[in-house]
Structure 1
């Protein structure tokens, strides 16, 4: 048996539990690579609740260093970028203790390769001249600089100026990171193509590896529902899932609750809109005062809500990459209603596998149709078939190992 080699794995957030978009991907990659490598994992913990999950990660790692991230202090620290000309994201995720741990790991363990999850973690690697043998695979996931550009167009001044600045500076930073890396990975062909246009010098080293879905966990079989029906009896159930301290999700649920739900309830008075996800912002919590809106906060399992939902909505106006909420709704054989932004990068056909609408009147009509049109009943099964065909994790994860192994 060949000797296992050491892999430095750096992530901007603890990869466990896999209960939100970035963690679903990072944990799947970590678990897969742990079969072949001795993993030295360094990561941040920005949610105090996640400290209780550290021990569960140790079985996948030869060494583990978790660093607490206080969001308020990190925000203040990020403002240094205004003085230094940096993207604010880099100082936000800078930590002296983590830098020392990375340096000691590179010196004492001498890993053969490094896997970076989120470009801000590249700041912890030394210049290539100091460690030319270290193979670096950078998983950008999304083109975050474009996300900040979208934010800038959706916000008033001065945030519009700040977000536009972050978009420009982060793109400059990301291009430098891609030049240093041996391979750069994005979550969809659309994201990869966008970065190739923005950073043509790195185009030959850019790859697309999609997310996957655990189809044994996300199954429409009602007998697998982990708990009873969580909805009010007799209600018509509309569900949105996601991290509710993330601005695109906040914007989506406020738009739906304020601009669409009243019109849906005028036709279907029993309609309820359930917002399922942790850390809801004050604006999201306030939505629960509206008739028919339920805000759950953190739940141990989102599947009961998906199992008993009649429609899954993803009314995203700002988005990058692949929306796991859409894939999970498809996997559960639900009728999903989303926007072009929510569908971008997903291998699915609007009208066959899900419904798509981009303005409020069209989204209202599509949601009512999802709840009432019996001719759409085959759509859920079609969605699951398409998701299974395109988004099995096993088909995706081998590509990471190949990139790390490539000389």
Structure 2
């Protein structure tokens, strides 16, 4: 049912025309309902409204252009509602929609009016579950509170429950939407935190935030870490996909296949290069924040083969290349030293294959066969020696031990 309003310039009156030509075809609204709406409007005094008077076709004598227009509308069969004082058309429309055109229970309307007052006071419809408002806030005419309270938070929660189940009447959902109803608290929290994540990215160039990162009071680092967990984006696949797209729009590498610490240092390297730093200048000791990016860069170049394709691709995009392999002949080893190292590596490989770990008890001895001869390798002592001599080991030996997982010098920051 469309509403057309007009106010006479010479008299303090308002007229509302109920236009049947624009009437909705909703199953709950037909021509009979429109006629009954006009009759019911005459009882609006009970709700604090001015007396409504239906004009069936009479017009006052000596009327001006405004009255002639009203007479024409009446002659065309358009019901008119006259008010003794000017009224806000939006208020009239809301009244007719909820009380006359689509009659609803006073219990539900009390909650709607309470939510309207909440929005007017707080600027949004994000109502906490335990929120209570004065009873006066539920009155349609804005009367004062009588000392009681209305459980608005519980009422809003019930509307959300009915909405999820599909049992909320469409026009109730429409009225709530007009007030900015927050149907999903989780969604509202996600988009709020996403705004904080966008600010973090603008500053740091990455969403690989440490867990203690906080932006505008939002623990954005921990929030992102939770999202990266299995099912962190939510159980609903469509909603999860939407959230993933939103995060990838900010940073495609927000959830990389490699360690998040690596991604954070890569972002720091990219930031330095964007600030006109050259790779030749980024030597060990050059820091970015509390990170030694120079030492990290050298480790990536040394351990190039151990990096994933994605990591190498990103470093290559910044102009990083692997270190050339040394061509000098290896130094002569002490008698038996090379053999001892190789036996230790073979023993560690055998131990790792059997146990799945390279954490060897110090007193453990591993037996291996070399050229058909059995050797008892004191693996626990050997492992401890290798870790303590890590910095002095030849590059090739360090690489072999890194591949086995004995230490993480290739990717540590």
With a CA cutoff of 8 Å and minimum separation of 6, indicate the structure with the bigger relative contact order: 1
TM > 0.5? no
Larger radius of gyration: 2
Q: TM-score normalised to the size of structure 1? A: 0.18
